Amino acid sequence: QVQLVQSGAEVKKPGASVKVSCKASGYTFTSYDINWVRQATGQGLEWMGWMNPNSGNTGYAQKFHGRVTMTRNTSISTAYMELSSLRSEDTAVYYCARACSGGSCYYDYWGQGTLVTVSS
Amino acid sequence: SYELTQPPSVSVSPGQTASITCSGDKLGDKYACWYQQKPGQSPVLVIYQDTKRPSGIPERFSGSNSGNTATLTISGTQAMDEADYYCQAWDSSAGYVFGTGTKVTVL
């Protein structure tokens, strides 16, 4: 069965970076995009960007340009999302989700979420 | 940027029909999908490509999309359907966009 398993909760200080992992299993990792979505407590879903594990190509939401980097290691079927220059407003649950490639797709599987807390 | 607007809340009695709207410019020209999210859980896809239901999603969930509005309809609403619902669409400039979210309360 398809599974996306994310790394554990993180606590970071303002200005630091965080790297969240998302390990895929149950399907061919390079056949689907991985997207990242975040959700602050009590707030809605916010799309951060996509990555194609086959090519390594990425696309980021304008809001996160310059602060987010999405990468992968195909040998272990794992995607990564690194967010830098953290501020308190980045405190949120971060999700990875699987989607087809090319836009106009949907997220059929989601990770369990990773809580990132930014606090001094 | 592209925006999708949903009503903040919808209330429905058990067994009745709940309709949740999602409004965006020329949304009918794009594919819309819908996610259900219960407290403390990851979102779950309930409708994709406007009208299709993933395997395992009950038939009481249905969708439509035309003009500027996509609609998620829950027929014969059950207590277990109480959750937050989000629409989503792809915009060529903005990327994936989520709606503002609707809290469905089953009274």
* CA pair distance B63, B86, nearest whole angstrom: 13
Q: What is the pLDDT of residue A65?
A: 87
Which chain A residue's Cα is nearest to B103? A44
Token duo for residue A120: 């001094």
Determine how β-strand B61-66 pairs with β-strand B69-74.
antiparallel
CB atoms under 10 Å from CB of A47, counted, come to: 22
Is residue B86 less than 8 Å (CB to CB) from chain A? yes
Q: Are A49 and A97 in contact (CB under 8 A)?
A: no
The amino acid occupying position B70 is: A
pLDDT in tens, B1-50: 899 999 999 999 999 999 999 999 999 999 999 999 999 999 999 999 99
Q: What is the pLDDT of residue A101?
A: 79
Is residue B1 less than 8 Å (CB to CB) from chain A? yes
Residues of chain A with pLDDT under 50: none
- The answer to whether B35 contacts A107, with C-beta atoms less than 8 Å apart, is yes
* Closest residue to B98, CB basis, from A47, A62, A113: A47
- The answer to whether A45 contacts B35, with C-beta atoms less than 8 Å apart, is yes
pLDDT in tens, B52-95: 999 999 999 999 999 999 999 999 999 999 999 999 999 989 89
